[in-house]
Structure 1
Amino acid sequence: MSESKSESKPENQTPQKIPLAVAIAGVGLLVGGGVAALWFLWKQQPSAQLPSGTTLVPNEALMSISLSTDSREWEKLRQFGTPESQAWFDEQLLTLRDRLLSDNGYNYQEDIEPWVGKEITIAFLPPIPVEVSESEGEGETANSDGEGEPEQNGEENAETPSLSGIPRGNQSIVLLLPIANASRAQQVLENAPTPQSGAWTTREYKGVEIKENPGTDSDLYAVTVLDGKFLAVANSRYGIDRTVDTYKGALSLADLPNAGKIWQKLEGDRAFARLFVNIPVASAVASLNRQNARIDEIAKLQPNQGLAATATIENDGIAFDSAMWRRPKSERTYSVENKAKMMADRLPAAMSIAIVGSNLQGLWNDYVAEIDVNPIAVINPQWLRTAIKTTTNLDLEQDLLSWMAGEFALAMIPPAEDNASTFPASVVLMVQASDVKAGEETLAKLDERMQEAYQFKLSRETIGDRELVTWQSPQSSLIVTRGWLDGNVAFLSVGAPLADRIVPKPQTSLRTNTLFQSTVPAQPTPSNGYVFIDVENLLALNAPELRLPTQQGAFLDAIRAIGLRMAVENDRTLRHHLFVRLKQAGEALPLPPAQPDRPPSSESGSPTTPTPENNN
């Protein structure tokens, strides 16, 4: 659990730490893992559930990440992967270390380790103005019970600050380092080296002294100490000023509705990293690459409030615990439907990818309802409707999804050892029909359409008591098989022959797969669905579509398997447990010592550095 960063520790009791640059490098790891983490502390009464520093992150930040400074955790992380991925990861750590510390005249062991606390926080402010004042839940904060209530902390909190001061296109980043040993921090700060661009300058903002290098907006470096508890560093005046505003009482990320209540649910005692995403702002920023994107509308209409996650380093990988929740006033809620129970018994044990859910029709309806505020939507609903209508003469919603309101599975399955086809795998869709008669009528129409419009050759065979229909293209380049399992589960497979491995049921099912058992988290239960990816199996297929550039391929090769389990906790909260099982590269070699471009400056006459004692 986090401890108060205002307490000083004797030098011989200071926990092991890792260089600041090393900690920042973890951002890329967490984001690249798909999921990737984290949180902070209340302004007046710190909460052990929240990451330290949250109360200093402005509420318009799109994301904040908190990372452990414990070197033992980072050494465990460096041992994962393959020799190639291990070397790449170490190279990134060295680059960041030298850029942020050595090149600026700092040595981590001498200048940072003696005073820094257990967890640093990195906040990302939006690169463009995002008006969120009309967002649902604005002006509310999370009390100790996690419920939204009007903010009563004074005039500064009554309105959301204008973001017009953000330079368009520039990402404002704020780094918050907790001070665990104030006297040692003061010694280091008083002897801060002179920036490469010239002598430090100082200015005052709302009674707080801020020290800056004489750079332009594009290479500005600003630093201040807040209440003797945090050293704040930013790459823009906007970022450092907004951090001071928040320190003085403006709304922070910790004040977003229900943030405290959500954090109490997450596994945080052993967390290596913790992530918080302010979804309305993040959605608006992510939509910048969309043509004609309505930035402010996306922020206002986004029904989700936030995503919180913790990451814990285990012996064989990284475990993530996360929650996503709706805004208190959002009219859109989640359907509490956790019925993903049977598909693991219907899929074969040999598996590359398996995606299982509770309700295919409901999943599609939710996707379509929020398409306008989903900046990362991969499928245009109208395009898919048109494609299906043109190809099959069927209506997606009326003819297909209308009877697909049950559990479903979409899987990629490696071929049998005696496979003679040219396909590297089989892709199968299974759907539990909510209306079997409607499903049979639709599939009969589909048989007729494929035969008449595309001259597919149709054949029928019986396995056990099940009749299967196979479509074969004129050149035999495509083979599709469909049928029914146990009366109400329809399936359709494309690619390598698969029917005899799932009809009437698999000889060994996915549930018996030991990698599946040890990778897909057992909780939450009951679940709304799960995802299992056997990465080694997937890469072994040698499909041209799966070939990646060398660097990305090396990163993927470091992963053995990925497992995700989801549940709808209530009508406003989703829970996710993710586990990334990693290979072991072995004990990592010590990082080479820094080679600074210049020694630390001992010049006198530079402006006095803000210290832990002079900003109360």
Structure 2
Amino acid sequence: MLKKNKPFLLLTLGATILLIGGGATAYWLLVQRNLSQVNAPAQLIPQDALLTASISTDSEQWEQLSEYGTAETKAALEKQLTQLRNDLLTSNGYNYEKDIQPWLGETAMIAYLSSSSVALPTDTEQAPPSGRSLLPDIIVLPIENPAQAKELLEKANSQKAKSFIERSYKGIRIRETQKSNVRGLSTTVLGRFLVVTNNPKTTERVIETYKGAASVAATPGYIKELSKIGASEPFAQLYLNIPTFSAIAAANSTRAGLPNGALRSQNENLAANQQWQGIAATVTLEREGMHFQGISWLKPNSSQKNAVQNNTSRLPRRLPEETWFMLSGGNLAQFWQDYAQGAESNPLTPIPPVNITAGLQATLGLDLEKDLLPWMGGEFSIALIPASRNALALPENQQSTQLGAGVVFMIQASDRKLAEKSLKQLDEVMATRYQFIVEETKLGRQPLVSWASPLGGVSATHGWLEGNVLFLTLGAPIVNAIVPQPQATLIQNPLFQESVPTKPNPSNGQFFLDVEDTINSSNLNLPQLLSPDQKRLAKAVRAIGVTTAISDERSNRFNLFVQLQKATKPTPSTPTTSPTPTTSPTPTTSPTPTASPTPTASPTPTASPTPTASPTPSASPAPTASPTPSASPTPSASPTPSASPTPSASSSIELERNRNR
């Protein structure tokens, strides 16, 4: 039986994720908690923590993780990890395999607290060095072998006693580093766990939680909901506290231009009014990428309830195989209702509902509630389709060549007569108010209405497909891609089939993005929207797929798959054998910390802890919250954990995973 190595790299998971998965997946990859041990570490984390993440230390999984990404992202991560190893382990005289691995358990947990939950050190020497501001606030390391951990303590006492000071808080001993050129760490041992923090006050909060203060494990729904997303071989699991996230996001948003007192009050109100309690995801590693099983749930006292409608959309079958992007849902009117309902307590709502309704009224003379929503109770989709070269070559389309692709919106009208009335109003507005050329045309036997700007470059077409499905295209000429029904459809596209999960089924929405043909290419002729670092991250991703469903009145489920590139393995270099704790983790089994600071590798995401993601990436807009930045400049990190070169999971396990996805 192969010996398991516990790679020190687990605490740099954040950096790894940013480099292999891109900003959108960064948030999801920081994450895992072994459900068999869910109560223990979570009982040490204060309940108002922003984010908790458990990460496997199984070297076989880390070996598989190291296969993802491009050569560039792998090299960047290697550079970062080498620096971390030198700063945290080697500089303190420790060797991972000899000093840490023998006693470390199977799963470590990290946590980020809200920025206001602990006081920051005033000593400038204790301030976080540049580039390290996103080190975890708390690291919980399971002690699997207390006797070997004690040996490390004895080594620390004899070797570097002058580097630490010891004190006591509520009867629990704490050991802290005393170095002017290194980030200060504070450690204590609570039961069978070594706790490492970057702030003495944080350690005190953990001790208070250990002694009975509210913990993450006591959060309403936490244990119950996470038990629904278990996996046989999870790599990671994450929990995001949505009320805390909402308050932090508000403080960092444009709404924050308020005096401190008013801002504090606003944040408290947002947290109190937030209907959603949490979002969690379990991550498993598969041959072609990373699979996330997720769930979001409402607060127990929430006045909001989900409308349980899972009408799997068939509209993706009407889209051509070459579609680059697609979002579908089961009921547009319900989608809008959920969006409007959650916007008030969501500081990250991209566009306030009132602005949308006012904008439609001002520009098109249409009342969303009266003219549009009454007939929009059916399934819908929006897609981005590349224009064919033949279509772009036509004289009438010459001014559309810069666009490269067109957008098509489809909806199954629940009341066709009302829909046709709205379309006539829209045609009239475009002709009279904006002087567009509006004319009835045909494509084969299909009646169409086209709009053309007198200035050229802007065009649109709308018409009806079988089954009372209305379509509207904008941008490049793509009508011939959907009329008549394409023979090769999106659901037959191998990339779509490999990326978009088939479960949950039935579902109420799907999402697909071909990252290679959109973000990673020049097909769209878009301005430079991404920084060089963000582009590097995106290069590691091939496609992203999501399938969502409403579980019940209180929770939503989703499956997300990130298909990743695989770089050719570089010529193996001589690995260093000491991947990294910061100071001596001196766990003893007693609650009295004889430990000295331990491995604190940081997940150095260059993203802010308050990114944007919604608790349910589904067609129904539950809260848009997310703990990680979209795509933020990433650390120069290096993707190959300096872990043992054990083989990755067997092909039979992978086939079984794919069948269950």
* TM-score tier after normalising by the smaller chain length: 0.7 to 0.9
Aligned with 2:89 (options 64, 81, 101): 101
Q: Deviations over 1:214-241 (max 9, x none)?
A: 479x9431001111x1110001122111
Shift of the alpha carbon at 1:378?
Answer: 1.4
**Correspondence for 2:277:** 305
Q: Does residue 567 of structure 2 align to residue 567 of structure 1?
A: no
Q: Deviations over 1:569-594 (max 9, x none)?
A: 11111101011111110235557655
With over 3 angstroms needed to count, the CA separation of the structure-2 counterparts of 1:600 and 1:367, relative to structure 1, is closer
**Correspondence for 1:435:** 415
With over 3 angstroms needed to count, the CA separation of the structure-2 counterparts of 1:367 and 1:104, relative to structure 1, is farther
With over 3 angstroms needed to count, the CA separation of the structure-2 counterparts of 1:274 and 1:496, relative to structure 1, is same
Aligned with 2:65 (options 77, 80, 83): 77
Q: Does residue 458 of structure 2 align to residue 481 of structure 1?
A: no
Shift of the alpha carbon at 1:414?
Answer: 1.3
Q: Distance in 1 between matches of 2:477 and 2:583?
A: 71
Shift of the alpha carbon at 1:167?
Answer: 7.1
Shift of the alpha carbon at 1:346?
Answer: 1.2
Aligned with 2:336 (options 360, 364, 369): 364
**Correspondence for 1:241:** 204
Are the equivalent residues in 1 in contact too, given 2:14–2:26 (CA < 8 A)? no
**Correspondence for 2:25:** 33
With over 3 angstroms needed to count, the CA separation of the structure-2 counterparts of 1:450 and 1:573, relative to structure 1, is same
**Correspondence for 1:153:** none
With over 3 angstroms needed to count, the CA separation of the structure-2 counterparts of 1:485 and 1:253, relative to structure 1, is same
Are the equivalent residues in 1 in contact too, given 2:190–2:590 (CA < 8 A)? no
Shift of the alpha carbon at 1:381?
Answer: 2.1
Shift of the alpha carbon at 1:106?
Answer: 2.7
SS at match of 2:390: coil
SS at match of 2:569: coil
**Correspondence for 1:459:** 439
List aligned pairs for 1:370-409, cutoff 5 A.
370-409=342-381
Q: Distance in 2 between matches of 1:553 and 1:196?
A: 44
Q: Distance in 2 between matches of 1:177 and 1:261?
A: 24
Q: Distance in 2 between matches of 1:362 and 1:285?
A: 28
Shift of the alpha carbon at 1:404?
Answer: 1.3
List aligned pairs for 1:516-595, cutoff 5 A.
516-538=496-518, 539-540=520-521, 541-545=523-527, 548-587=530-569, 590=572
SS at match of 1:418: helix
> TM-score, normalised on structure 2?
0.78
With over 3 angstroms needed to count, the CA separation of the structure-2 counterparts of 1:58 and 1:325, relative to structure 1, is same
**Correspondence for 1:127:** 115
SS at match of 1:382: helix
**Correspondence for 1:187:** 151
Shift of the alpha carbon at 1:78?
Answer: 1.7
Are the equivalent residues in 2 in contact too, given 1:105–1:600 (CA < 8 A)? no
Q: Distance in 1 between matches of 2:69 and 2:587?
A: 42
With over 3 angstroms needed to count, the CA separation of the structure-2 counterparts of 1:457 and 1:92, relative to structure 1, is same
Q: Distance in 2 between matches of 1:266 and 1:316?
A: 21
The farther-off stretch of 278-287 and 541-550 is 541-550
Aligned with 2:312 (options 332, 340, 356): 340
**Correspondence for 1:142:** none
Are the equivalent residues in 2 in contact too, given 1:82–1:557 (CA < 8 A)? yes
**Correspondence for 1:295:** 267
Q: Distance in 1 between matches of 2:431 and 2:43?
A: 64
The farther-off stretch of 319-328 and 497-506 is 497-506
Q: Distance in 2 between matches of 1:194 and 1:418?
A: 78
Q: Distance in 2 between matches of 1:226 and 1:24?
A: 26
With over 3 angstroms needed to count, the CA separation of the structure-2 counterparts of 1:474 and 1:275, relative to structure 1, is same
Aligned with 2:137 (options 162, 165, 173): 173
Q: Distance in 2 between matches of 1:78 and 1:449?
A: 56
With over 3 angstroms needed to count, the CA separation of the structure-2 counterparts of 1:90 and 1:341, relative to structure 1, is same
**Correspondence for 1:612:** 589
Shift of the alpha carbon at 1:209?
Answer: 0.4
Shift of the alpha carbon at 1:445?
Answer: 0.8
Q: Does residue 204 of structure 2 align to residue 232 of structure 1?
A: no
With over 3 angstroms needed to count, the CA separation of the structure-2 counterparts of 1:82 and 1:594, relative to structure 1, is same
List aligned pairs for 1:152-167, cutoff 5 A.
none
Q: Distance in 2 between matches of 1:388 and 1:453?
A: 14
Residue identity opposite 1:98 in structure 2: N
Residue identity opposite 1:307 in structure 2: I
Residue identity opposite 1:349 in structure 2: E
Which structure is richer in relative contact order (CA contacts within 8 A, separation 6 or more)? 2
C-alpha RMSD of the superposition:
3.1
Q: Number of matched residues?
A: 559
With over 3 angstroms needed to count, the CA separation of the structure-2 counterparts of 1:240 and 1:589, relative to structure 1, is farther
Q: Distance in 2 between matches of 1:592 and 1:477?
A: 58
Q: Deviations over 1:358-414 (max 9, x none)?
A: 111211221111112213211222322232222212223322233212111011111
With over 3 angstroms needed to count, the CA separation of the structure-2 counterparts of 1:93 and 1:609, relative to structure 1, is closer
Q: Deviations over 1:101-121 (max 9, x none)?
A: 333433222221111111111
Give percent identity, aligned residues only: 37
Q: Deviations over 1:329-384 (max 9, x none)?
A: 21101111111331121111111100001111211221111112213211222322
Shift of the alpha carbon at 1:457?
Answer: 0.8
Aligned with 1:222 (options 186, 201, 212): 186
Aligned with 1:447 (options 427, 440, 445): 427
Q: Distance in 1 between matches of 2:510 and 2:497?
A: 12
Shift of the alpha carbon at 1:92?
Answer: 3.0
**Correspondence for 2:612:** none
Shift of the alpha carbon at 1:27?
Answer: 6.1
With over 3 angstroms needed to count, the CA separation of the structure-2 counterparts of 1:65 and 1:614, relative to structure 1, is closer
Residue identity opposite 1:96 in structure 2: L
Q: Deviations over 1:143-170 (max 9, x none)?
A: xxxxxxxxxxxxxxxxxxxx7x577998
> TM-score, normalised on structure 1?
0.84
With over 3 angstroms needed to count, the CA separation of the structure-2 counterparts of 1:611 and 1:519, relative to structure 1, is same
Are the equivalent residues in 2 in contact too, given 1:40–1:55 (CA < 8 A)? no
Are the equivalent residues in 2 in contact too, given 1:567–1:576 (CA < 8 A)? yes
Residue identity opposite 1:56 in structure 2: L
With over 3 angstroms needed to count, the CA separation of the structure-2 counterparts of 1:52 and 1:94, relative to structure 1, is farther
SS at match of 1:211: strand
SS at match of 1:281: helix
**Correspondence for 1:507:** 487
Q: Distance in 2 between matches of 1:601 and 1:572?
A: 44
Q: Distance in 2 between matches of 1:359 and 1:400?
A: 13
Are the equivalent residues in 1 in contact too, given 2:97–2:577 (CA < 8 A)? no
With over 3 angstroms needed to count, the CA separation of the structure-2 counterparts of 1:536 and 1:451, relative to structure 1, is same
SS at match of 1:537: coil
Q: Distance in 2 between matches of 1:193 and 1:542?
A: 61
Q: Distance in 2 between matches of 1:198 and 1:478?
A: 72
With over 3 angstroms needed to count, the CA separation of the structure-2 counterparts of 1:238 and 1:446, relative to structure 1, is same
**Correspondence for 2:656:** none
Aligned with 1:353 (options 316, 325, 336): 325
With over 3 angstroms needed to count, the CA separation of the structure-2 counterparts of 1:536 and 1:310, relative to structure 1, is same
The farther-off stretch of 306-315 and 418-427 is 418-427
SS at match of 1:264: helix
Are the equivalent residues in 2 in contact too, given 1:90–1:591 (CA < 8 A)? no
With over 3 angstroms needed to count, the CA separation of the structure-2 counterparts of 1:27 and 1:234, relative to structure 1, is farther
With over 3 angstroms needed to count, the CA separation of the structure-2 counterparts of 1:13 and 1:537, relative to structure 1, is closer
Q: Distance in 2 between matches of 1:480 and 1:600?
A: 61
Are the equivalent residues in 1 in contact too, given 2:230–2:282 (CA < 8 A)? yes
With over 3 angstroms needed to count, the CA separation of the structure-2 counterparts of 1:193 and 1:592, relative to structure 1, is farther
Q: Distance in 2 between matches of 1:566 and 1:181?
A: 42
With over 3 angstroms needed to count, the CA separation of the structure-2 counterparts of 1:325 and 1:312, relative to structure 1, is same
Residue identity opposite 1:507 in structure 2: Q
The farther-off stretch of 351-360 and 293-302 is 293-302
With over 3 angstroms needed to count, the CA separation of the structure-2 counterparts of 1:372 and 1:198, relative to structure 1, is farther
Residue identity opposite 1:245 in structure 2: E
